[in-house]
Structure 1
């Protein structure tokens, strides 16, 4: 595996993943180092309304205006990704990751965040891999790598993101975008 895994890398679930957690997911890497890798699932929403979980943040998030399922780790916690409205702006509570997308600390007063961001999304929990674990999964072909586009992070139609990200890869990966959960039915 020669690709660099860093903030802004997408993990696109391979069709062999059928664990009920990462099936047809697109994971955005937030951090990767020698101790492990952390990311959030971009295309799964929760059954919990954002209005009930974090009512003060609900008016600020992008469509579809829901709480996303970032992954199976620390489901009671929240991760917020945001893009400042103005280029070069560094609002309080925000830490850049890649392409003007960064983490917003949800302890930041909403009044400060209101109007400061063009895009904002909240995730319950996150996805994590111990040192070497993700590399092993990549060797087994469980994931495909790509560079994230800012539009992927705040996509208004998360249900179709996996297929669209695969399709734009071209070649054999694009063919996987037509995968069905029941290939024996073809």
Structure 2
């Protein structure tokens, strides 16, 4: 399988009766941050939490993009925080910021915000991440759990993360766009 780094994984819609209430991947959009033969990891982009960022990282709240909430990045290591940012330009090495592809960067959350924030166009803080062992993600894609689509620069920092799943599907120029109209409860259709 091709390298999926920088791609979006969009969960395939399923009947609510088949979805566990705790399924963090239900109608999720995951940005793949890294993918190789050893596995993959990424962040769920559309799971804002009710917690303020300052509750876990004092000093960062005023710098995050709207909605200014902490996001659940996935089910793995929920006690860790990752900063995902957009940084204009093409500098690879900047104090406190590591570019991973295009304008998407990881932020060192141990760095003081005044050192890092002036370089950033957008910032989100995530608790946890999504991770797959070698071959696991490929198996899930082959089993039909994920659509793989190109990301747009604004996806990780959408003002309306609740509608991101539907919006990503609707912009596809294929039959994939029809999946966006899959109802929460097909019996109500």
Aligned to 1:9: 7
Aligned to 2:73: 70
Normalising by structure 1, report the TM-score: 0.93
Q: Which runs of 5+ in 2 are unaligned?
A: none
Normalising by structure 2, report the TM-score: 0.91
Q: Of residues 54, 63, 77 in structure 2, which corresponds to 1:60?
A: 63
Query: Size of the alignment, in residue pairs?
Result: 183
The reply to whether residue 106 of structure 1 matches residue 109 of structure 2 is yes
Q: For residue 31 of structure 1, give the secondary structure of its aligned residue in structure 2.
A: strand
- Distance in 2 (CA, whole Å) between partners of 1:107 and 1:52 is 15
CA contact (8 A) 1:5 1:29 kept: no
The reply to whether residue 158 of structure 1 matches residue 157 of structure 2 is no
Aligned to 1:96: 99
Instruction: Single out whichever of 61-70 and 168-177 deviates more from structure 2.
Output: 168-177
Moved over 2 A (4+): 4-7, 16-19, 88-91
CA contact (8 A) 1:7 1:97 kept: no
Q: Which runs of 5+ in 1 are unaligned?
A: none
Q: For residue 24 of structure 1, give the secondary structure of its aligned residue in structure 2.
A: coil
- Distance in 1 (CA, whole Å) between partners of 2:156 and 2:13 is 22
Aligned to 1:48: 51
- Distance in 1 (CA, whole Å) between partners of 2:57 and 2:63 is 11
Q: For residue 161 of structure 1, give the secondary structure of its aligned residue in structure 2.
A: helix
CA contact (8 A) 2:99 2:106 kept: yes
- Distance in 2 (CA, whole Å) between partners of 1:28 and 1:95 is 16
Q: Deviations over 1:17-51 (max 9, x none)?
A: 83422000000001111211000000001232212
Aligned to 1:177: 180
- Distance in 2 (CA, whole Å) between partners of 1:114 and 1:152 is 20
Q: Of residues 24, 36, 40 in structure 2, which corresponds to 1:37?
A: 40
Deviation at 1:91, TM superposition (A): 2.5
The reply to whether residue 118 of structure 1 matches residue 121 of structure 2 is yes
